[in-house]
Amino acid sequence: MALSDLKIRKAKQKDKPYRISDGLGLSLQVRPTGSKLWHFRYQFLGKEKILSIGQYPIVSLADARAKRDDAKRLLADGQDPSVQKKLDAIDAHVKARMTFKEVADEYYDNLADRGLADATLRKTRWHIDDLAKPLHSRPIDQITAAELLHLLKPIERSGRRETAKKLRATISAVFRLAMVTMRAPADPSAALKDALLPPKVRGRAAITDEAEFGQLLRRLDEYTGWPVIPAAMKFQILTCTRPGEARGARMREFDLESKTWTIPPERMKMRREHKIPLSRQAYEIVLENWSEIDGVELLFPSLQL
């Protein structure tokens, strides 16, 4: 006879566990503690097995019957419901561990393996560990565009528009990694490109007038302080390099015979070797500042050396 909720509620515990059948393999086990558990008995490959469905009343009578029917459909397809239950549990466990933080850490490790500059890695780490902290424990496939906007807007309103823009880019890169590894269906940050205000552009100090540039060169020639300073500035102008690259130039990087300067990858922003042919003027600056003093590696050492 099929069960009813009234019959289940009236079932009292006994000294030993006993079962009440609902039919078609579904039964309710009543334990001495009073707890009531749903079980589904079935045959698979000639062996009798029992699938635990859940506890009543958390799993209602209707839900138990629905789970029984699902199990019978699996059997009809040649699948073992108990095995499928374990696979589903493993899948749920894996998905629960697919948090934003775990994917973001994997993205960071990829950047580090590519040998990106320390400054780039530090900024990415700051984005992940500090600014994106509210997302750390969230399953990455459940994060929405609205949730990301709620994270980015306070940063934008504080006046840090550029930071909000770059944080969105970092988050987007994390989601792209999640997409190609089948851990997220899409990148919700893509919808935010027009939702954030553009950064306020502040031009850096620059000389764009030829006459003013000529005046700068004359002032360098007239400078009476430490001679390394005007030499380094002229060298940077002639080689079109960044201040840090010229300031950190080491004598071992120069080939005086071929008149070339090779900046090693670890000193370049893109971590690629950069070879610069030296003009006559740049080559003369190198010779004028060449030092034979032991322990001096820099072409343009500070006054303290």
Decide: helix, strand or coil at residue 49. Answer: strand
In a domain, 15, yes or no: yes
Sign for the pseudo-dihedral over CA of 166, 167, 172, 175: positive
CATH number at residue 135: 1.10.150.130
Cross-strand bridge partners of residue 26: 23, 40
Q: Quick one: average pLDDT of 168-181?
A: 94
* 144 in the same domain as 224: no
Q: What is the pLDDT of residue 268?
A: 83
Q: Quick one: average pLDDT of 274-278?
A: 95
Instruction: Give every CB contact of residue 162 below 8 A, 6+ residues apart in sequence.
Output: 199
Q: What is the pLDDT of residue 237?
A: 93
Residue 222 has which token pair?
């007239």
The type of residue at 172 is: S
The answer to whether 182 and 145 have CB atoms below 8 angstroms apart is no
Whether the pLDDT of residue 259 is over 90: the answer is yes
pLDDT, one tens digit per residue, over 25-60 is: 999 999 999 999 999 999 998 899 999 999 999 999
Residue 293 has which token pair?
């003093």
Whether the pLDDT of residue 204 is over 80: the answer is no
Query: Where is average pLDDT lowest: 120-134, 150-164, 191-205, 234-248?
Result: 191-205
Q: Quick one: average pLDDT of 4-24?
A: 91
Q: What is the pLDDT of residue 238?
A: 94
Q: Quick one: average pLDDT of 214-221?
A: 90
Q: Which domain holds residue 247?
A: 210-289
First to last CA, the chain: 97
For the sheet containing 274-277, what is the strand order?
A: 254-255, 260-263, 274-277
Cross-strand bridge partners of residue 28: 20, 38
Whether the pLDDT of residue 143 is over 70: the answer is yes
Higher pLDDT, 266 or 147: 147
pLDDT, one tens digit per residue, over 99-117 is: 999 999 999 999 999 888 7
Q: What is the pLDDT of residue 239?
A: 94
Helix, strand, coil percent values for the chain (each to nearest 5): 50, 15, 35
The type of residue at 90 is: I
The length of the chain is: 305
* 60 in the same domain as 119: no
In a domain, 76, yes or no: yes
In a domain, 23, yes or no: yes
The answer to whether 184 and 178 have CB atoms below 8 angstroms apart is yes
Whether the pLDDT of residue 94 is over 80: the answer is no
Q: What is the pLDDT of residue 232?
A: 93
Instruction: Give every CB contact of residue 92 below 8 A, 6+ residues apart in sequence.
Output: none
Q: Quick one: average pLDDT of 274-286?
A: 95
The answer to whether 84 and 74 have CB atoms below 8 angstroms apart is yes
% of the chain exceeding 70 in pLDDT: 97
* 125 in the same domain as 47: no
Taking all residues of the chain, what is their mean pLDDT, rounded to a whole number?
Answer: 90
Q: Whole-angstrom Cα distance, residue 231 to residue 217? A: 11
What does the radius of gyration of the chain's CA atoms come to, in whole angstroms? Answer: 35
Residue 131 CB neighbours (<10 A): 19
Q: Whole-angstrom Cα distance, residue 180 to residue 193? A: 21
In a domain, 202, yes or no: no
* 188 in the same domain as 217: no
Sign for the pseudo-dihedral over CA of 125, 131, 136, 139: negative
Q: What are phi and psi of 205, to 5 degrees?
A: -60, 125
Q: What is the pLDDT of residue 231?
A: 93
* 238 in the same domain as 166: no
Strand blocks (E) in 199-289: 254-255, 260-263, 274-277
* 78 in the same domain as 44: yes
What global pTM score does this model have? Answer: 0.52
Query: DSSP letters of 145-203?
Result: HHHHHHHHHHHHHTT-HHHHHHHHHHHHHHHHHHHHTTS-SS-GGGGGTTTSPPPPP-P
Query: Where is average pLDDT lowest: 27-41, 165-179, 201-215, 282-296?
Result: 201-215
Whether the pLDDT of residue 95 is over 60: the answer is yes
In a domain, 301, yes or no: no
Whether the pLDDT of residue 96 is over 70: the answer is no
Domains: count for the chain: 3
Q: What are the Cα distances from residue 195, in Å, to 103, 191, 240?
A: 25, 8, 37
Could you tell me whether strands 254-255 and 260-263 are parallel, antiparallel, or unpaired per DSSP bridges? antiparallel
In a domain, 303, yes or no: no
Higher pLDDT, 176 or 268: 176
Q: What are phi and psi of 200, to 5 degrees?
A: -80, 115
